Amino acid sequence: MQLIKASQMDLEAMVRKIVEEKITGESPELKINGGLLMIPVGVSNRHVHLCRKDMDILFGEGYEMQPMKELSQKGFYSAKETVVVAGPKGAIPGVRLLGPMREHTQVELLASDKWILGLAPDIRESGTLADSPLLTIVGPKGTVLNNSGVMIAWRHIHMNSAEARLLGVNDGNYVKVQAVGNRAVIFDHVKVRLGDSFNTELHLDVDEANAAGVDNGDLVKILL
Helix (H) or strand (E) holding 134: none
Listed residue (133, 148, 153, 143) closest to 83, CA to CA:
143
What one-character-per-residue DSSP string does 30-57 give? GHHHHHHHEEEEEEE-SEEEEEHHHHHH
Q: How far is the CB of 115 from its own copies (least distance, A)?
A: 9
Q: How far is the CB of 188 from its own copies (least distance, A)?
A: 4
Q: CB-wise, 49 or 155, nearer to its own copies? A: 155
Q: Which long-range contacts (CB under 8 A, 24 or more apart) does 76-80 make?
A: 76/100, 78/47
Q: How far is the CB of 51 from its own copies (least distance, A)?
A: 26
Binding residues for its own copies (CB under 8 A): 110-112, 123, 154-155, 182-189, 206-208, 210-213
Q: CB-wise, 132 or 160, nearer to its own copies? A: 132
What CA–CA distance (Å, rounded) separates 173 from 1?
Answer: 27
Q: CB-wise, 57 or 223, nearer to its own copies? A: 223
Q: CB-wise, 187 or 198, nearer to its own copies? A: 187
Residue type, 175: V
Q: How far is the CB of 122 from its own copies (least distance, A)?
A: 8
What CA–CA distance (Å, rounded) separates 9 from 3?
Answer: 10
User: CB-based burial of residue 147 (10 Å sphere; 0-12 exposed, 13-18 middle, 19+ buried)?
Assistant: middle
Q: How far is the CB of 110 from its own copies (least distance, A)?
A: 7
Q: CB-wise, 99 or 156, nearer to its own copies? A: 156
